[in-house]
Structure 1
Amino acid sequence: MGTVLAALAGTVALAGCEVSGTAHRVPVDVDAGQYKTVKTDAGVSSPRWMAGAELAAYVPFPSEIDDTMIRTTNGTAPAATLKNLGAHIDGAEKVPENAEFQFGFAAGGNNSDPTVEGSPNTRSLGFGVFRYTDAGAARAAVRPTAEANRAELIATRDRFDLEKVDVLVDDAGVGFPAGSMTVSSEASGRDTGMSTRVLVPHGRDVLMVHSYGRSAADTASTLKRSVDLMIERLAGSADVSEKSAMRNASFVTLTVPFLGDGDRMFFDGTAVGPASYAHIYHDKKRGSRLLSQAGVDLIGQRETVVFRASSPAKASELRTGFETWRREVDAGSRKAASPRDLPTATCVEDVDSATDKSYGCTVVVGRYYATASSRKSLLDAQQKISAQYLILKERG
């Protein structure tokens, strides 16, 4: 079973009684298994990744432009390297001018049903804000990045023998800031409409909007409204930097450290405010409202996620709010056993199919609400939340 950790001195409960012939008094044991509870900054993100996560607070939700964008896509994440940049703009990592890229954030959404696995999507909308060393570097990167993106899309089309649609690069034209470029083509396969990406120089930033599956007229309107909203939101972001983003890095050490070096997604390894973290939710309005009502000011994430509410009562309300939301949207969710000797933690099992199961556990410790999830087993989720409980009891 993994390492069994005794509950902390001063908070140890006792079970049994001192009666001849029966079990004697023993301390309650909280089983953290292989998960560590010592303070460590292992897995805390780099300053650039953390800065991208902080910048997320100034990036609009795609659903603010198109309310049918009801699913958050996996590409929603900070960017801190040329490889990250290339994941959002195919070919960008090959452009010499992008050596001046520092950090950014991308948010994506589509119109597939988030409650139905494999639900098809016919439209999507993605935003990106990519910050460079200075305004000159940002301007210089736009055209070669657009050209590289076109070349990469054509190469992909030919490599997979896809329909031979034209891929065009052009000035974005009237209504967009000077120097803006578009990369556009017809949607591929059975999809209809346009696939158009606009790159916009804006101070130190290159803004990106990618619209897929809309008519030419709807695409033009969507791009214009998106860029206008992004410019408006970014007005307060000038001070976001690697230094500013690291001021809350120590909060990440209140979460359970990663076991391995696997891929990181969303806000793994960061500490961010609620305006950034709300990007992960499919229903962003509801997620934002729950965080606001609980007075959450910081969220840290590694193996577990820790939310700091304004008070213990508010932390409990936050837990209730999320548990209610989960029951409403997940018909396959059912109550599971609490971790050993930790009855204040609650766990659930989600059953999508006979072979696809996931597990989640939550606990409230003071003003902290914490969650843990696992696709391995219920025991794995229980041990994660047990480790989290021990960390918060000692250092929260």
Structure 2
Amino acid sequence: MSVTVLTALSHAWEGRMVEIVDRLPGIAVGRRCVDLADLLAAAAAGHGDVALVSADLRGLDRDALAHLGAHGVAVVGASPDGDEEQERRLRQLGVQRHVHLATPGEDLVESLTVHAAAGVAVASGPQQTWPGQDPPTAPVALVTDSTPPPVAPAEAVRGRVIAVWGPTGAPGRSTVAVNLASELAAAGAPTVLIDLDTYGAAVAQLLSVLDEAPGLASAARASELGTLDLMGLARLAVEVSPRFRVLTGIPTPNRWPEIRPAAVEQIIDLSRSLGAFVVLDLGFAIEDDEELSYDTAAPRRNAATLSGLAEADDLLLVGSADPVGLQRMVRAVQGVGQVASPTPRPVVNRLRASSVGADPRRRVEESLARFAGVEGITFLPEDRAATDAALLAGMTLAECDPDSELRRAIAQLAGTFSGVVAPARRASGRVLRRRRP
């Protein structure tokens, strides 16, 4: 195959690399880009198949690499002499293949052609990670044709991602997300809660975590710079109780441009190794606002929610049990079906007879089955006293009022994921105290 290469390299040795690449069979240098903006423009215009970049390219970050990949341009790192520091920097950004001036010609051809084909595959559309089955929740032993050794190596356990999403109108997304994560952790499963709501992040307030504590914004910034790793994420995710970590959201909504989709994807991917469950508290808006902008490379406010939905293994669609909330829920079922996301599992919150009439469970089931075609609804009762007390204390329901009807309903919901039976009602219980960060 014929491969066109775009270069964005240090001026000190770019000429030598271009001369070497241009002599390779089936390889041609299509454009020598002077900076990152020139490279992104050339990629968007379809002028190349592979980009050769150096670690000192100013402005190069994870979001820029995602932009190149979205236009079918694979990225190969380059350095003058195989510098390990430059290679490490590019690997942290996600560039896995590297060449230098002394790389043999046949290796150069292989690197450029293989990655060009990979770039075309990425641009052709998203690939389902786990076709036809759920992601594994236990280590998978490596199998060979020969007799296996006494102890077979195993792949790392990957945490399950549960997205909590719902339409506008404050149906209780954050309350459900916080208490679901708390119950999963209480069941013995290390759990990470990530606040990805770019319109009204509330997890920090619900759990009495200081807004000034480093959280999602710090993790996203480190991801963009290529310095975020598992240990770094663990330091940023506050441990509010045993086995329960929280990555707080952006303190003010106007900081949403800092949360780029490529960074969100890496944060979620690393969180899978940090906990058995990863719970995402998502914002309400899922419109692809990129379509409303002339600059298609501009930041998108809804990208964090859309990325969270695309990365999730399970989706809880939270709606409120009142006429307006149910109407919004019906439309939300239709809307979320238009974006990359798992099949939604409906959760009707604040169930009460005063808002929908006698026998509220039956009425809601009939309405959603008729207008949205959904079944298997999880109902969460209205329990204003318990939620108010928990909000005032900055605690979870399990800490503040473990015997409340709402707490036990959420514990049963968590049990469907963890396999742990919800605790029985008890006369009294010890209240846990929040560990301050």
| Normalised-by-shorter TM-score class | under 0.3
TM-score (norm 2): 0.21
TM-score (norm 1): 0.22
